[in-house]
Structure 1
Amino acid sequence: MHECIRKTGIKLGLRRPPLPPQRDIPVGPVSKLDFVSPEYSLKKLYGDNEITTSRYTWYGFIFQNLAEQAQRIANFYFICIAVVQIFTDSPVTPAISIIPLVFVLAVTLVKQGYEDWLRHRADREVNHVRVEVVTEDGRLKTVRAMELTVGDIVLCRVNDIFPCDMLILSSSEQNGECYVTTASLDGETNLKRFVAPELTRMYDSPDLLAKNLRGKITCQQPINDLYAFNGRLKVENEVGDAEVCPIGPSNLLLRGACLRNTDFVYACAVYTGQDTKMALNSKGKKTKFSQVERRLNYYLAIILAFLVTCSLISSILMFALPLKNAWYIQPQMITAWSVVQTFLGFIVLYNYIIPISLYVTIEVQKFFGSLFFEWDINLYDKNLNERAKCNTSDLLEEMGQVEYLFTDKTGTLTENLMQFRRFATALGTFGVKDGKIYKILPDQRRRSTLVGELETLFGDVVDLTPSTSLSEEPSDADLLNSIQTLLLVLSLCHTVRVEKNLPGEEPTTGKHKKKKRGAAASSSAAATTAVIDTLQQFREPPRRGSSALRRASAAQSASAAVRASRRGKKVKAEEYIYQASSPDEKAFVEATRDLGVVYHGVDESGIHVVTDHGLALRYRLLDVLEFDATRKCMSVVLQPFTPGSQLDEEAPVVVLCKGAETAMLPRVATDQQVSTVPHQSTDPLVSGLSGRLRTEISMTTEEAMNQVTEFASSGLRTLVMGAKLISAAQWYEMKQELDTARGLLDNRDAALAAAYAKIESHLTLVGCTGIEDMLQDGVPETITALREAGIQVWVLTGDKEETAVNISYSAGHFFVGMSEARITRHTSLRSCLDALNAQWERMKEAKRIDASQQFGIVIDGQSLNFALEIELRDKFVEFCQGASTVLCCRLTPLQKAEVVRLIKESRSPAPVTAAIGDGANDVSMILEAHVSFGLYGKEGRQAVRAADYAFGRFKFLKSALLFHGHTYYKRVALLVLYFFYKNLLFTLPQMLFGFFCSYSAQTIYPEVYMVFYNITMTSLPIFLFGLFEKPVPEHILLAYPRLYRDIVRNRCLSLINFIVWITLAVWHGFVIFFGIYFLAFRGQAGGGSDPVSGYGGSAVGAILGFGNLLIMTIFIVTNLRVYLFSYYLNWVVLLGNVLAFLLNLSMYTFLNFYLFPLETPAELFATWSVLWGGSGLGTPWFAFPVLICLSLLPDLILRAFTDQGWKWRLAEMQEEQEHMETEPKSVVLNGTSVTHNVRQTDVEDSLKEQTSSQSQSNNALREESFLS
């Protein structure tokens, strides 16, 4: 049966057939026509390319959404109440419960329907993107992206987004390469190089692809690893023989990536739709519940228990109490069904104690609150032209509960803007600034200096011109040669592409010049035409465009530089556009250009050109060993160019390598391992790496490690440069082994690793470099404010220990007077345990001596693995909680998430965690935290999409947490308490009335009030309060971050506050009920008869008049109560209260008098007439002022106390602020005294403003003492 259903589903297209272990994909339109599957077509087997992120369909939306809403406890409860009213003898009509329930469900349905409509619209935009596909007759056909199937050949133009995962077949480049940005996938905005297999590079037009290409791709089934792809490509040649070549990650273009700096590519669809790597990595976010919602459910359970108890007691009393003078009530037989029916009747009667509109009010308020968050001008980044973004509106109040903040470093605390600042060779340490090299002062060479203070160490300028290099002092010549060799390595060891703006084209880098007009413009056009004419010799189809032209322009400039050098003319440093796959490489090439060593790219003959102060150097690129995370380095293999030969068997081959010190230092050659290449060369790079010069300029591993540590201590990103010379014969042997490894279909990675290790061994250390990543503006002030707010900040980074520590000091994460506790470089569980115990005892001893002593913990990824083990987990958590701040360095993305999870599980209830990052490597941490923030940065938008909230700068976090978090939490907390209060106040008189009606389940209110009490009578004022209330002015919250501590751990919704609000509701209920009862019982309304209603005597004496006066008093008290806990009254809130009264009065009169007249005509209207203008007018005019003042008297007293408490508190904070001083202090870092400037938040203006407007400030924050 199951198998029959499965096959039927497959035939109908509802289910996909089982996938084979590997997929075979036809390549080319003809091959696709020839594809024959035993059972299924390609579309049925692999699906189409449609992406669906929406939750509902148009035909099932209402039913599915209502089913989901019924799963919410409150909604399910009210549905049950409505069912009970329909099928039992209910004391009120079913409409009383059904109308509010329908209203709440309808509002939620509309809200979620709108959100899903937005998802449908986004899906439509993605699925309906126009894509060009090669047809069988060699033409291009435009189809929608969703119509693509596996095997289609797609044309993508420059700046196009790839519609699916595709194998590149050919490109506009002769060597089949293309450049891509994968920011939407892995967060990296740098260019990545992909290349077409050699078997298909020649098929670069639709005609060739349709007529000549026949092939098949055999590859693995889709997996979510972005960098894993293996398979083989089989292509039939002209004579019908099949050729096979391996394919890998460098051949696969991923969906969501963008084509850059390449005019076009042709690619074959391999994975489509939900099988793409982007879809497989798009995990749905976990459903997050705020602390307010958790506490709300807890209090809701308490109220439900109270409701059941009261209903049970009322049921017992109904049968137990005798009926006196109740001749109109028929005695009821006590049976099981009558007991159940009575109990359910009281449940229905008292069910208004549960606030049915609470959830929908909170949802709507959060929706508008998210708009206010996005519209906040203080969260707008004018540099990026980006405003704040809310990906969810459910966690606004959670920003006010954060106890731990986990932050990335690079791009989050820093600018991710790299500048080449320092380098070291065997003969000295140097600084770089403004195109000049400075000697580091000898007496300060070992000094650790913070980022931003590097220039204080600079000494004399080093002149690199050729005349200076001929100094009579050998040591000076060796010094310059060592610098020259390192600069040449930096200018050649990379994968940078060079472009140049065309004549007349607006420059994209460098200084912008005004456009020429007239004759100059015509000459520019002529020059452009000349460039285009020159390009006719290149292999370009008609669609090749500006990218190729800019590269051709750069190639012409490179050739011109060579010609100028030969003639002895000055070579201009062109304004090239450097396109780099790494920000470090771009920083190196731009810096060496400013220093006189200019990388021109490839000339018109494909040879790489570098000019060293006018001297043209040409190199043939033999191979590139790309960077990977396992090796942690990359290499290029070059040979000085000899015209007229492909590979000069005489000339040496140069291997240039750069990487992390952990990867480079083990590859350094000993004296016995240094290869000697007997070759005389005038090339400065070759001469610098051979003979005596190699010995003089090579660094030892100890020197390199010391320099790396010194640079890292200055907060710089470090790399180590190595090189070696080998003979052409040696390279030919290595190249054969490398090509063999690349051609393997099985065990390719292991073979490549062995080949790489052989090439990159026995290196000479040329030098090491330090690149500065600038600190973002406002970071120290923000971290200091968050620490004062009681938020423990953890920095989680993949950087080196010393770099991370120094950035922590400059960012204010580590501060003056704090002791460091380092747990690093441990290789076993025992050593990590011993270090943890030692540091723990040291911390306890220090705090015993001085309780104010602060500690900062530093732990690296290797030691963290042991600290997360079950044996050390609890001790490590306790150790970290006792510290002021924590720095975790050398972490992987998975370790970042594990650290967040560790703190979340450290206690119950869990502390609220927040995470902030800007790159794809931060997504796991972002998804793990309770509330998360993404930064618009240079590492793509994946963090922005994964986060709950996003903005442009780290400093905006201060306003987001201290102001928005504080404000939204207070709003929602007060709203929750108010809803419980007003519903208990409404229900309590009904419970009290039971004693006077022998618990006969008689309603005291007219039914129309029971319908609209939660919908219209009490919803508008509190809703407007929730939108506009500001418990504390923004400038005070930002000036006094310590105020944030008063609301964390859900203090505003503590059990004590809940009891206070419930007690006030009980007081108000008793005062109002018995006050009006006293007036009615004593006949204070007077006698008489009203001709309209027909009632005689006191109108209040009748139950209808009693209920009317009761509900109106409750209505006024509950709405006035809003003003007593509000501190930001504006005309909108005031108008809301007035409208609530007038609109309800008008609505009730209209409904009852004109639409729903009762048996007694216009019953409610008549009662109101008697109460306000008849013989009983004394009752309301006397009851309202007296009862309202008496019931609100405790609230007024509490308000007075909280106001006075805030005055004392403000004075105390001002006094503490006056004693805060800013002064330089010294701290010992790695045995070196480093001067830091203590940065404090500037609050002088705020203090003056508070002093001048004391009365206004006294109206702020008074609620703090009341709720706390």
Structure 2
Amino acid sequence: MRKPKIDEMIDKIPWLKIFLQKIRLRDTRQKYQNNRIIYLNNSLPEDYSGEKPCPYSSNRVCTSKYTLLNFLPKNLYEQFRRIANFYFLLNIILMFLLPDPPKNPYTSMIPLLIVITFTAIKQAYEDFLRHKSDSRINKIKVRVLRNGSFVNLKRKDIQCGDIVEVHCDQSFPCDLMLLHSLDENGSCHVTTANLDGETNLKLRTAPNKFPSIQVDDLAALRGVIKCDKPNADLYEFKGNIEINGHEYPVNNDSVLLAGSTLKIAPSQKGCAIYTGKETKIMLNSKFKMSKMSCIEKTMNKFIVFFLILLVFYVVTCLIGSILTGDLYTKHWYLKGREPQFFDNKFVYYSIEVVSQFSVFSYIIPISLYISIETQRFIGTKFFEWDLNMYDEKRDQPARANNSNVNEDLGQVEYLFTDKTGTLTENEMIFKRFFVNNQTFDYKNGQVVKIDSQDKPVDLQNEELRNFFLCLSLCHSVQVDKNAQKEKYQASSPDEFSFVKFCEKIGVVYEGDVRKSSVVRLVNFFGHSSQYELLHTLEFDSTRKRMSVITKCLESGSIFVFTKGAEDSIFPICKQESAVDACQQAIDHFAQNGWRTLALAFKQISQDQCQFYGSLLNEAYSDLSDKHKETVRTVYEAIEVDLSLIGCTAVEDRLQDGVSSTLVDLRRAGIKIWVLTGDKKQTALNISDSCKHFSANMKKLLLTDLNDLNLIMKKLDEDCTKVTEQRNRKSFAYIVDGKTLSYVFKFELEKKLREV
């Protein structure tokens, strides 16, 4: 069939054809803005008759600023955005327009061309390095399932719906949904240090109730993934996968993000759901095409001042010309004063203004920016040559990706840091625990009561049994039986310390076995027990707790075990007296700077368990914007009427050199804020021990307030104290999260900044 004439005309104009294709692609994508539909193996169902799905973003990585086509206009725009460059360009244009300029325009044009050329070459070189890095990443070979077998393809050729194979210690080339792992539990561990800075392992599993898939079955696998559109939230994902008419909810625990690295499992296979610029790591990069440093912005202000000064000079000379001009225009030897201009005073004085402008133009030196660009370029090399910034483990020096912000490093006024893993080693040491109004310690391989002359304790009574079961079952630790050193692999250092402590005293977590469901094996003082892991209620920062619903396969009893921060556990427990005693123990542990967690449980019936399961499945399948709230509401409905078990205390030691570093930063005038999830007393003790607080600091507390008047009164008092005693004392300010939320709610941020 012959094409319409309009299509034939478009085909003859390549750039117009490409432009229209992009427009059509954008219009097609708008239909898929709310949800994303992905077909496994990029294969449509046999009975599919709808419109062909929209092609999503390619997996090409692009961090460069320029291309060969747009380099010249884009670079010129960025350079003439600087006031000085635009000023010199305007001056040169005006001199060319003058009939008899006071100086040769080429004397100004050539230096400007040198400056523009030098800057363009420097920025082209930096962008060339970015292109080179992008090309190296895009050409990395990955294993992709095509035509029934895994083949080696370039990373940039991955498409949404492709099944990708990743081996141990390799980074994920795009955002994947886990389908198959060679780990015996069908799970894998990843590190996300490149995404959020956390070095601990994180567990990833296939979707809940998802059928076990063999490698040979992947080529014939057909299904549909429905998920939310790309977003920058690293910790949120909702969707479902439909296979053979069955729908399985998918959450963030099944997503393998680009930039994270596979650990422990020999290999895993997943379906590409977000690629290229739509991956979460790229959406979080917020790459700004052109950056201006603080010094450059300040310099622009000074240039404006000199321009005002220049205008003053020009106006002064113009007034002098008006008053005395007639004395000189009569002389024939004064060029530029031809008679034809005498009758038109406006033209005459306009020429006079432009001439004076050109004469005084050197008030702003033309070498200003070339000097700064040279200093910046050399400065980046000093970063690379600095041996103190060299990483021996990775054999990698420091690298400056953008020389335009070198000087901003010296302008840092505030430093925000978290505590765990940054100031501390993130290696928890189990210290003590509190159960049934008694505090226990672990000494010389035995559990002993405090103040009992170190007599051994019977660990098999009911209260202690529930305590050890909660530690052994309520976690996300995995067992790697092939590990040469440590068999336990944990995403949380607290959980690792719990299972290691239990192992030392004889309660050994032996790992999970995947059958029709997950069965957790626990050896309780020589007796092996099996607990079916029915549901996991994941930790979140709002609830500040985690729960599991487990069933003992021997007795058939079903339990809900919960652990979390004491302020989230105590309100959902029944016994007030036990809560008061446990709170005292926690306060005592906090005085030593130890991290504390509270534990609770309850036993439920089979009917309750089925009811909870139906609520959870319904919440997980919700793809609306209120997915988080729906899941959290169901979690909170389950976590009620618990019986308090006790609490734990672990120590997280400071890293070497932390104290001296904080002291040096404070001496440099940098204000340091430490963010921590620990309770107030623990945070205060850690701040004292790491020298975050100096001995002579006066502590001001903005904590435990939820009333507008009280918060405003406290802020006013603190502001007065700081103003009156600023020259005599230094201050430390302690704010808790609850009070801070009210500060934001009542829009008191400005008052807080004043303090």
State whether TM-score is above 0.5: yes
Say which SS state the counterpart of residue 596 (structure 2) adopts.
strand
Query: What per-residue deviation string (whole Å, max 9, x for no partner) do you get for residues 1119-1174 of structure 1?
Result: xxxxxxxxxxxxxxxxxxxxxxxxxxxxxxxxxxxxxxxxxxxxxxxxxxxxxxxx
Distance in 1 (CA, whole Å) between partners of 2:338 and 2:168 is: 85
2:264 is matched by which residue type in structure 1?
Answer: N
Q: 3-state SS of the aligned residue for 1:724?
A: strand
Structure 2 SS opposite 1:712: helix
Render the CA deviation track for 1:242-287: whole Å, top value 9, x for unaligned. 3333333333333333333223333333333333333333323597
Q: CA deviation at 1:588?
A: 1.9
User: Are the equivalent residues in 1 in contact too, given 2:239–2:621 (CA < 8 A)?
Assistant: no
Matches within 5 A, 1:211-290: 211=220, 213-236=221-244, 242-285=245-288, 289-290=292-293
Residue identity (%)? 37
- Identify if the C-alpha distance between structure 1 residues 422 and 392 changes in structure 2 by more than 3 Å, giving closer, same or farther: farther
Structure 2 length-normalised TM? 0.85
Change (3 A) 1:33 1:224: farther
**C-alpha deviation, 1:769, in angstroms:** 1.4
**Contact 1:193 1:250 survives alignment (8 Å):** yes
**Structure 2: distance between partners of 1:30 and 1:875:** 59
Alignment RMSD (CA, Å): 3.8
The reply on whether 1:98 has 2:103 as its aligned counterpart is no
Distance 2:623 2:408 in 1: 52
Q: Deviations over 1:315-354 (max 9, x none)?
A: 6656726569987545644443343334323333332232
Q: Can you list the C-alpha shifts for 1:1047-1104, whole angstroms capped at 9, x where unaligned?
A: xxxxxxxxxxxxxxxxxxxxxxxxxxxxxxxxxxxxxxxxxxxxxxxxxxxxxxxxxx
What residue number does 2:4 align with? none
**1:852 alignment partner in structure 2:** 728
Report the Cα offset of residue 145 of structure 1: 2.5
Alpha-carbon distance in 2 for matches of 1:287, 1:803: 43
Conserved 8 A contact 2:478-2:489: yes
Against the structure 1 CA distance between its residues 288 and 424, is the aligned structure 2 distance closer, same or farther, given a 3 Å change threshold?
farther
Pairing 1:712–2:590 present: yes
Q: Corresponding residue for 2:5? A: none
Partner Cα separation in structure 2 for residue 62 and residue 183 of structure 1: 38
Tell me the equivalent position of 1:79: 89
Alignment match, 1:162: 172
Alpha-carbon deviation of 1:62?
A: 2.1
Instruction: Indicate yes or no: 2:699 matched with 1:813.
Output: no
What's the CA shift string for 1:947-992, capped at 9, x where partnerless? xxxxxxxxxxxxxxxxxxxxxxxxxxxxxxxxxxxxxxxxxxxxxx
Are residue 702 (structure 1) and residue 547 (structure 2) matched?
Answer: no
Q: Distance in 1 between matches of 2:737 and 2:418?
A: 14
2:227–2:238 CA contact under 8 A, matched in 1 = yes
- 1:208 and 2:217 aligned: yes
- Once the two structures are TM-superposed, the CA of residue 76 in structure 1 deviates from its matched residue by 1.0
Letter paired with 1:630? T
Structure-2 separation of matches of 1:840 and 1:91:
60
Q: What runs of 5+ residues in structure 1 fail to find an aligned partner?
A: 237-241, 443-458, 470-476, 510-575, 643-649, 672-698, 881-1268
Contact preservation (8 Å) 2:506, 2:526 = no
Match for 1:669 among 574, 584, 591? Answer: 574
Task: With the length of structure 1 as denominator, give the TM-score of the two structures.
Answer: 0.52
Residue 799 of structure 1 pairs with residue 695 of structure 2: no
Letter in 1 for 2:349: V
- Structure 1 residues 82, 813: CA separation in 2 closer, same or farther (over 3 Å shift)? same
Aligned counterpart, 1:28: 41
8 A Cα contact 1:422 1:431, kept in partner: yes
CA distance in 2, matches of 1:140, 1:838: 68
CA contact (8 A) 1:219 1:231 kept: yes
The amino acid across from 2:538 in the alignment is E
- Are 2:59 and 1:52 aligned? no
Q: Could you tell me which residue of structure 2 aligns to residue 350 of structure 1?
A: 360
Structure-to-structure mapping, 1:400-439, within 5 angstroms: 400-432=410-442
Match of 1:194 in 2: 204
AA paired with 1:66? Answer: L
**Does the CA contact (< 8 Å) of 2:188 and 2:264 recur in 1?**
yes
**2: CA distance between counterparts of 1:260 and 1:869?**
42
Provide Cα deviations, 1:126-169, integer angstroms capped at 9, x if missing partner.
32232333233x12233223223332232333333333333333
Match of 1:486 in 2: 467
How many angstroms apart in 2 are the aligned matches of 1:810 and 1:201?
A: 51
Q: 1:26 to 1:405 in 2, by over 3 A?
A: closer
Distance 1:341 1:630 in 2: 70
Q: CA deviation at 1:99?
A: 1.6
When residues 400 and 152 of structure 1 are mapped into structure 2, their CA distance, relative to the original with a 3 A threshold, is closer
CA shift at 1:105, angstroms?
Answer: 0.6
> Is residue 866 from structure 1 mapped to residue 739 from structure 2 by the alignment?
no
Superposed counterparts of 1:474-873, under 5 Å: 486-501=467-482, 507=484, 509=485, 576-602=486-512, 608-611=520-523, 615-623=526-534, 624-642=536-554, 650-670=555-575, 700-726=578-604, 731=609, 734-735=612-613, 738-739=616-617, 741-742=619-620, 752-753=631-632, 755-757=634-636, 759-837=638-716, 847=725, 852-868=728-744, 872-873=748-749
Which residue does 2:3 correspond to in 1? none
Shift of residue 659, structure 1, vs aligned partner? 0.8
Contact 2:415 2:670 in 1 (8 A): yes
Change (3 A) 1:488 1:231: closer
Cα distance change, pair 625–56 in 1 and its aligned pair in 2 (3 A)? same
User: SS of the residue aligned with 2:285?
Assistant: coil
| CA 352–125 in structure 1, closer or farther in 2 if over 3 Å, else same | same
Q: 1:292 to 1:255 in 2, by over 3 A?
A: closer
CA contact (8 A) 2:550 2:560 kept: yes
Tell me which amino acid in the other structure corresponds to 1:129. Answer: I
Give 1 or 2 for the bigger CA radius of gyration: 1
Greater displacement, 618-627 / 743-752:
743-752
The 1:53–1:104 alpha-carbon spacing in structure 2 relative to 1, beyond 3 Å, is: same
Q: 2:126 matched to 1:115?
A: yes
What is the rounded CA distance, in whole Å, between the counterparts of 1:144 and 1:97 in structure 2? 50
Q: Alpha-carbon deviation of 1:817?
A: 4.2
Q: Distance in 2 between matches of 1:32 and 1:145?
A: 27
How many matched pairs?
A: 727
Q: Can you give the 5+ residue segments of structure 2 that lack an aligned partner in the other structure?
A: 1-9
Cα deviation for residue 309 of structure 1 reads: 3.6
Change (3 A) 1:246 1:343: same
Please state whether the residue corresponding to 1:857 is helix, strand or coil.
Answer: strand
| Residues 631 and 60 of structure 1: CA distance in aligned 2, closer, same or farther (over 3 Å) | same
One-letter identity of the residue aligned with 2:431:
R
Report if the CA contact (8 A) 2:63-2:287 is conserved: no
Query: CA, structure 1 residues 603+295, in 2 after alignment: closer, same or farther (shift >3 Å)?
Result: closer
What is the CA–CA distance in structure 2 between the aligned matches of 1:49 and 1:421, rounded to whole Å? 48
User: Is the 2:65–2:289 Cα contact (8 Å) retained in structure 1?
Assistant: no
Given that residues 418 and 674 in structure 2 are in contact (C-alpha distance below 8 angstroms), is that contact kept between their aligned partners in structure 1?
Answer: yes
Partner in structure 2 of residue 364 of structure 1: 374
Cα pair 1:409 1:797 within 8 Å, conserved: yes
Shift of 1:70: 1.5
> 1:60 and 1:309 mapped to 2: Cα distance?
40
Closer, same or farther: CA 721–387 of 1 in aligned 2, 3 Å: farther
Q: 1:868 to 1:17 in 2, by over 3 A?
A: closer
For 2:328 and 2:584, locate their aligned partners in 1 and report how far apart those are by CA, in whole Å. Answer: 97
Q: Given the alignment of the two structures, is residue 305 of structure 1 paired with residue 184 of structure 2, yes or no?
A: no
The structure in which a higher percent of residues are strand is 2
Q: Say which SS state the counterpart of residue 188 (structure 1) adopts.
A: coil
Query: CA shift at 1:630, angstroms?
Result: 3.3
